[in-house]
């Protein structure tokens, strides 16, 4: 039986102008106009009008990409009125949601119905369509990215046509558009596979870098969700293992949870990064203190309360997806790079995994994957560190996260994505005039 929920907004918002900025503040766009449609019909009409006016079109989410993937000087589609869960179908195990719905609202609604996504990333501020379109992922031995959990979608194409896509209907478009970078059209709604809500037990504990490297394959194989953070300038890591549990629920205490997730991970960390930005020489010492600040803890809760955590310290990020077999070698090279260089890195390096999937532009397409993410505090020079790290990643055939900083172009990406040509051929068919193009897409997909 399908249960309907309210959809936010009942009318379209008129055209507006003004600059748009992303979350990190490193991308600014100045669209000719912006609109916030409240329905698929209004969205299609806006795209047709833009075409008649000779404007390109991009849809923006909440701006959590570090790349200008959503930037445009044409028509900017804003998400705030295309929100809400449209249907929850328990029998089918699916939920259909408007494209502009933030993940945090989807998670809360699913929890109210006793349902959950199987896996998710570690932040919930993104819109569902923005998260899927750029390849947002968590960590998982068997469960994959946000986009890989999509079972159907509705896509408005360059001429204003509306395509309903699934494995049975327009399957070629469905395969590519689940992770489409906004290059094939604008998604108006998505259907996700969901399952009855379950409990996860999180086990967080410090571990030496050498032990994590030696046991990496074992830790990935033995845990449904394994990730770790390495603190540059130290030999210390903080590991996290999430596994399904029979319960009972035992969430972090209010005080201890606040100390770990807000005071230490956000408040004190913000202060430490600010001091490090002003006095870079202090960073290695601060890193040693930071690596010892988080203690071991175990707790059990519903999935989104375990998978996700608040991220209030603003930063820039580059992340590469490597073949799983390259993980330990690449991490060793990255650690050696930091040790022999003058780089002062206040942010930990994040390492996660994903199983192979079948999406043409997924960073895990066709291969078991390890993700290595490097970060720098906003306002801190990052280019040299990121460039040096990128050389290590590309030497291992790395694929850059589509929403995070990198310098790769279509020539490189065509070599590391076996189905790259399949995607660009579909783009040629659906958007021959490049209505949905921008400089970033021209660089990574070609013209």
The pLDDT tens digits of the residues spanning 277-322 come to 888 888 888 777 776 766 789 999 999 999 998 777 889 999 999 9
For 28, 49, 55, 98, 444, the CA distances from 409, given in Å and listed in that order, are 21, 31, 24, 32, 5
Task: Encode pLDDT of 363-406 as tens digits.
Answer: 999 999 999 999 999 999 999 999 999 999 999 999 999 999 99
Q: What is the pLDDT at residue 299?
A: 95
**Which residues have CB under 8 Å from 347's CB, separation 6+?**
232, 273, 315, 374, 375, 376, 377
Task: Encode pLDDT of 348-361 as tens digits.
Answer: 999 999 999 999 99
Q: What is the mean pLDDT of the chain?
A: 92
Omega of the bond leading into 248 within 30 degrees of 0 (cis):
yes
Give percent above pLDDT 90 in the chain. Answer: 83
Q: Is the pLDDT of residue 6 over 60?
A: no
Q: What is the pLDDT at residue 4?
A: 36
Q: Taking Cα atoms as reference points, which of 204, 213, 232 lies closest to residue 288?
A: 232
Q: What is the pLDDT at residue 1?
A: 40
Task: Encode pLDDT of 99-153 as tens digits.
Answer: 999 999 999 999 999 999 999 999 999 999 999 999 999 999 999 999 999 999 9
Cα–Cα distance between 50 and 384 in angstroms, integer? Answer: 40
Q: What are the tokens at 89?
A: 């179908």
- pTM reported for the whole predicted model: 0.92
Helix (H) or strand (E) holding 248: none
Q: What is the pLDDT at residue 281?
A: 86
Q: Is the pLDDT of residue 262 over 60?
A: no
What is the pLDDT confidence band of residue 40, given thresholds at 50, 70 and 90? very high
Q: What is the pLDDT at residue 10?
A: 31
Q: What are the tokens at 333?
A: 């090279």
What is the pLDDT confidence band of residue 57, given thresholds at 50, 70 and 90? very high
């Amino acid at each position: 039986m399908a249960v309907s929920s309210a959809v936010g907004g009942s009318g379209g918002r008129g055209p507006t102008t003004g600059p748009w900025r992303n979350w990190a503040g490193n991308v600014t766009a100045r669209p000719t106009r912006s609109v916030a449609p409240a329905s698929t019909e209004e969205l299609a009409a806006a795209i047709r009008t833009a075409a008649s006016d000779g404007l390109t079109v991009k849809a923006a989410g909440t701006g959590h990409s570090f790349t200008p993937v959503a930037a445009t000087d044409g028509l900017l589609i804003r998400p705030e009125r295309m929100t809400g869960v449209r249907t929850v179908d328990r029998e089918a195990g699916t939920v259909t949601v408007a494209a502009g719905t933030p993940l945090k609202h989807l998670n809360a609604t699913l929890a109210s119905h006793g349902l959950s996504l199987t896996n998710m990333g570690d932040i919930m501020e993104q819109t569902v369509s923005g998260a899927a379109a750029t390849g947002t992922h968590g960590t998982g031995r068997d469960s994959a990215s946000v986009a890989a959990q999509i079972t159907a979608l509705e896509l408005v194409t360059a001429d204003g046509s509306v395509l309903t896509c699934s494995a049975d209907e327009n399957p070629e478009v469905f395969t590519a558009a689940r992770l489409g970078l906004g290059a094939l059209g604008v998604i108006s709604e998505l259907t996700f596979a969901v399952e009855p809500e379950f409990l996860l037990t999180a086990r967080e504990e410090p571990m030496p870098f050498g032990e994590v490297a030696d046991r990496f394959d074992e830790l990935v194989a033995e845990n449904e969700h394994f990730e770790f953070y390495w603190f540059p300038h130290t030999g210390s890591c903080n590991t996290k293992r999430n596994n399904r549990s029979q319960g009972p629920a035992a969430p972090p205490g209010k005080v201890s949870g606040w100390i770990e997730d807000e005071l230490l991970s956000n408040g004190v960390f913000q202060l430490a990064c600010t001091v490090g930005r002003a006095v870079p020489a202090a960073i290695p010492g601060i890193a040693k203190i930071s690596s010892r600040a988080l203690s071991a803890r175990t707790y059990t809760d519903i999935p989104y309360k375990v998978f996700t955590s608040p991220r209030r310290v603003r930063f820039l990020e580059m992340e590469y997806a490597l073949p799983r077999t390259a993980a330990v070698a690449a991490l060793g090279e990255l650690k050696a790079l930091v040790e022999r260089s003058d780089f002062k890195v206040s942010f930990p390096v994040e390492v996660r995994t994903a199983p192979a999937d079948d999406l043409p532009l997924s960073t895990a397409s066709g291969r078991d994957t390890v993700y290595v993410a490097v970060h720098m505090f906003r306002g801190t020079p990052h280019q040299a560190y990121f460039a040096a790290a990128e050389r290590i990643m590309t030497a291992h055939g790395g694929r850059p996260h589509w929403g995070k900083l990198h310098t790769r172009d279509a020539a490189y990406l065509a070599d590391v994505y076996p189905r790259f040509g399949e995607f660009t051929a579909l783009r040629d068919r659906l958007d021959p005039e490049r209505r949905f193009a921008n400089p970033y897409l021209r660089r990574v997909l070609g013209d």
